[in-house]
Amino acid sequence: MDLLNTLVDKGLRRELPTRDEALAVLATSDDDLLDVVAAAGKVRRHWFGRRVKLNYLVNLKSGLCPEDCSYCSQRLGSEAGILKYTWLKPDQASDAAAAGVAGGAKRVCLVASGRGPTDRDVDRVSETIKAIKENNEGVEVCACLGLLSDGQAERLREAGADAYNHNLNTSEATYGEITTTHTYADRVDTVNKAHAAGLSACSGLIAGMGETDEDLVDVVFALRELDPDSVPVNFLIPFEGTPLAKEWNLTPQRCLRILAMTRFVCPDVEVRIAGGREVHLRTLQPLALHLANSIFLGDYLTSEGQAGKADLEMIADAGFEVEGTGQVTLPEHRAAGGCGSGGGCGSEGAEGGGVCGSAPAAQPAEVRTDLVAVRRRGAGTDLAPNA
């Protein structure tokens, strides 16, 4: 297919595809899916070999968020039966992080619900970062605390943070339909603050919120322009009790095409499969490793993920290897650019589903509500974490 040959050539040269080329990837048929995966896989292997970076989420403060993001189980007015608790103490967070590191995670992602941190919150998270670094040699730490005020990114960097995550989530044109309590521009500003402070910037998207193919291309092109080190791709998990609870339109094939398009547009960036992979990719998860070079290990913020042991077996069975702490994630030209050793952190922004594109998406054979499980273990509980 001429399109795929062109996209591979551009990916190896770090050249931006045209919008029409990106849209064409999303419009490919299921008959061509393996060809699309193989082409994007060439680009992935050129820049990242067969390494898979493991990341581990620690939810520092769960629920009771004043923002109204439609996809989120922690949103204002959410009726989802999730865990709700206030800030973990530094030693509690460090213990939770240690479980992920023991499971093979190279990066720990510290996430807290809310619009953004107060200065006192930054102090609290700074102490947590220091505790994790002291107890887990070589671990990278990413913070995901919402919108940042002036000077806060610098303080997190001074405390030892390596990265900061703040997702764009969807296109600028449709952002107001998903969230009304802050703006798309607010999110862009926070990513720029992380960049300016010398943190490895991480920003991604959520697929499945009713967006068109054009919206998906818009947000991925906007991410390319922002130039984060890491782009997490979330697939909306439809939590009961949220506005998007009834949206179940993503298919495994659709998810693979979205990951492939993201890889072609962001060829030398850490593309991470984030929330929703178990729900929407299901048995095609191993194929996604040919497109993305990073995943979350174990559970997410408010939902259960695949067993950590199963994640490691999947990686090995697919012929990939877990990236070690001594390996640099990003290609040399990016790692030398002052943005850190690679990758950022993606939160579990994917808490819902539903997608419409320029070409009709195939409907799932059945709605798999049984795959949505609220997290009842790990951080904020007395039960052992899944790692």
Sequence-separated contacts (24+) of 120-123 with Cβ below 8 Å: 121/87, 121/145, 122/152, 122/155, 122/156
Contacts of 370 (CB under 8 A, 6+ apart): none
Contacts of 277 (CB under 8 A, 6+ apart): 235, 255, 285, 288, 295, 306
Rounded Cα distance, 184 and 189, in Å: 9
Look at the block and give the residue holding tokens 């259960």: 304
| End-to-end Cα distance, the chain | 41
Contacts of 5 (CB under 8 A, 6+ apart): 39
Q: Which residues are catalytic?
A: 65, 69, 72, 109, 142, 202, 272
Rounded Cα distance, 248 and 123, in Å: 40
CB atoms within 10 A of CB 144: 24
Tokens standing for residue 39: 């082409």
Rounded Cα distance, 36 and 33, in Å: 5
The amino acid occupying position 64 is L
Instruction: Judge whether 295 and 54 are in contact, CB under 8 Å.
Output: yes
The amino acid occupying position 290 is H
Cα→Cα distances 150→168, 196, 330, Å: 19, 11, 28
Rounded Cα distance, 371 and 320, in Å: 25
Sign of CA dihedral 145, 181, 81, 244: negative
φ/ψ of 18, rounded to 5, equals: -80, 160
